[in-house]
Amino acid sequence: VTSANPYASEAGLEMLRRGGNAVDAAVATAFAIGVVEPQMSGLGGGGSMLIWLRDEGRAEYLDFYASQPAEAFRGHAGPSEDEARDLRVVAVPGEVAGLLAAHERFGRLDRATVIAPAVRLAED
Protein backbone atom coordinates (compact mmCIF):
# COMPACT_ATOMS: atom_id res chain seq x y z
CA VAL A 1 0.00 0.00 0.00
CA THR A 2 1.40 3.36 -0.98
CA SER A 3 0.24 6.94 -0.57
CA ALA A 4 1.68 10.39 -0.03
CA ASN A 5 1.62 9.90 3.75
CA PRO A 6 2.98 7.02 5.86
CA TYR A 7 0.06 7.18 8.32
CA ALA A 8 -2.42 6.78 5.49
CA SER A 9 -0.40 3.93 3.98
CA GLU A 10 -0.33 2.21 7.37
CA ALA A 11 -4.15 2.43 7.50
CA GLY A 12 -4.33 0.46 4.27
CA LEU A 13 -1.78 -2.08 5.45
CA GLU A 14 -3.82 -2.58 8.62
CA MET A 15 -6.80 -3.62 6.49
CA LEU A 16 -4.73 -6.21 4.64
CA ARG A 17 -3.39 -7.57 7.93
CA ARG A 18 -6.98 -7.95 9.14
CA GLY A 19 -7.87 -10.06 6.09
CA GLY A 20 -9.31 -7.26 3.99
CA ASN A 21 -8.94 -6.94 0.25
CA ALA A 22 -7.49 -4.21 -1.97
CA VAL A 23 -10.70 -2.17 -1.86
CA ASP A 24 -10.73 -2.22 1.95
CA ALA A 25 -7.11 -1.04 1.89
CA ALA A 26 -7.74 1.68 -0.70
CA VAL A 27 -10.78 3.04 1.13
CA ALA A 28 -9.02 3.04 4.51
CA THR A 29 -6.04 4.80 2.94
CA ALA A 30 -8.24 7.42 1.29
CA PHE A 31 -10.14 8.22 4.48
CA ALA A 32 -6.90 8.39 6.47
CA ILE A 33 -5.14 10.68 4.02
CA GLY A 34 -8.20 12.92 4.09
CA VAL A 35 -7.50 13.39 7.79
CA VAL A 36 -3.71 13.76 7.76
CA GLU A 37 -3.40 15.79 4.53
CA PRO A 38 -6.74 17.59 4.09
CA GLN A 39 -5.10 20.38 2.08
CA MET A 40 -4.07 17.94 -0.65
CA SER A 41 -6.40 14.96 -0.33
CA GLY A 42 -9.43 16.13 1.60
CA LEU A 43 -12.69 14.25 1.70
CA GLY A 44 -14.54 17.23 0.22
CA GLY A 45 -13.50 16.45 -3.33
CA GLY A 46 -14.01 13.56 -5.66
CA GLY A 47 -12.22 10.70 -7.28
CA SER A 48 -12.42 7.45 -9.14
CA MET A 49 -11.50 3.84 -8.60
CA LEU A 50 -10.58 1.12 -11.06
CA ILE A 51 -11.14 -2.34 -9.59
CA TRP A 52 -10.02 -5.58 -11.22
CA LEU A 53 -12.52 -8.37 -10.57
CA ARG A 54 -10.25 -11.37 -11.03
CA ASP A 55 -12.95 -14.04 -10.76
CA GLU A 56 -15.01 -12.31 -13.45
CA GLY A 57 -12.04 -11.36 -15.63
CA ARG A 58 -13.15 -7.75 -15.94
CA ALA A 59 -12.59 -4.29 -14.52
CA GLU A 60 -15.13 -2.06 -12.84
CA TYR A 61 -14.68 1.73 -12.95
CA LEU A 62 -16.32 3.92 -10.32
CA ASP A 63 -16.58 7.66 -10.96
CA PHE A 64 -17.24 9.75 -7.88
CA TYR A 65 -15.93 13.11 -8.93
CA ALA A 66 -17.71 16.23 -7.78
CA SER A 67 -20.83 17.02 -9.78
CA GLN A 68 -23.13 19.95 -10.44
CA PRO A 69 -26.85 20.16 -11.09
CA ALA A 70 -27.71 19.68 -14.77
CA GLU A 71 -29.16 23.18 -14.96
CA ALA A 72 -26.11 24.85 -13.40
CA PHE A 73 -24.91 26.46 -16.62
CA ARG A 74 -28.19 26.59 -18.53
CA GLY A 75 -26.80 25.05 -21.70
CA HIS A 76 -23.48 26.83 -22.09
CA ALA A 77 -19.87 26.10 -21.23
CA GLY A 78 -19.55 28.19 -18.09
CA PRO A 79 -21.41 30.50 -15.76
CA SER A 80 -21.90 34.17 -16.44
CA GLU A 81 -20.59 36.59 -13.83
CA ASP A 82 -23.97 36.64 -12.08
CA GLU A 83 -24.40 32.86 -12.33
CA ALA A 84 -20.94 32.33 -10.82
CA ARG A 85 -22.30 33.76 -7.56
CA ASP A 86 -25.32 31.45 -7.59
CA LEU A 87 -25.26 28.48 -5.22
CA ARG A 88 -26.55 26.24 -8.00
CA VAL A 89 -23.11 26.20 -9.63
CA VAL A 90 -21.36 24.85 -6.53
CA ALA A 91 -20.11 21.32 -7.12
CA VAL A 92 -21.29 18.59 -4.77
CA PRO A 93 -18.37 16.54 -3.41
CA GLY A 94 -18.57 12.87 -4.30
CA GLU A 95 -15.60 11.35 -2.51
CA VAL A 96 -17.18 10.11 0.71
CA ALA A 97 -20.23 8.65 -1.03
CA GLY A 98 -18.03 7.08 -3.71
CA LEU A 99 -15.61 5.51 -1.26
CA LEU A 100 -18.46 4.11 0.81
CA ALA A 101 -20.19 2.76 -2.31
CA ALA A 102 -16.96 1.09 -3.47
CA HIS A 103 -16.52 -0.47 -0.06
CA GLU A 104 -20.12 -1.64 0.13
CA ARG A 105 -19.95 -3.30 -3.29
CA PHE A 106 -16.45 -4.73 -3.23
CA GLY A 107 -15.01 -4.58 0.29
CA ARG A 108 -14.70 -7.52 2.63
CA LEU A 109 -14.38 -5.96 6.09
CA ASP A 110 -17.13 -4.07 7.90
CA ARG A 111 -17.34 -0.30 7.45
CA ALA A 112 -16.43 0.54 11.06
CA THR A 113 -13.18 -1.41 10.75
CA VAL A 114 -12.25 0.32 7.50
CA ILE A 115 -12.79 3.87 8.76
CA ALA A 116 -11.37 3.21 12.26
CA PRO A 117 -7.78 4.26 11.36
CA ALA A 118 -9.03 7.62 10.07
CA VAL A 119 -11.08 8.13 13.22
CA ARG A 120 -8.04 7.34 15.39
CA LEU A 121 -5.89 9.75 13.41
CA ALA A 122 -8.51 12.48 13.76
CA GLU A 123 -8.75 11.92 17.51
CA ASP A 124 -4.97 12.06 17.91
The torsion angle over the Cα atoms of residues 59, 112, 119 and 6, rounded to 10 degrees, is: -40
Express each pLDDT in 81-118 by its tens digit. Answer: 776 677 667 778 899 999 999 999 999 999 999 999 99
pLDDT of amino acid 23: 98
Q: Residue 77 has what DSSP assignment? A: S
Beta strands in 37-87 (DSSP E): 48-53, 58-63
Query: If you write DSSP's letter for every residue of 96-115 in order, what string do you get?
Result: HHHHHHHHHHH--S-HHHHH
Q: How far is the C-alpha of 117 from the C-alpha of 115, rounded, in Å?
A: 6
β-pair partners for 62: 49
What pTM value is reported for the model?
0.85
Instruction: List the chain domain ranges.
Output: 6-123
The contacts of residue 5 (CB under 8 Å, 6+ apart) are 32, 33, 36, 37
Q: Is the pLDDT of residue 75 over 80?
A: no
Range with lowest mean pLDDT among 8-17, 70-79, 101-110? 70-79
The rounded Cα 26 to chain-centroid distance in angstroms is 9
Range with lowest mean pLDDT among 24-33, 43-52, 68-77, 102-111? 68-77
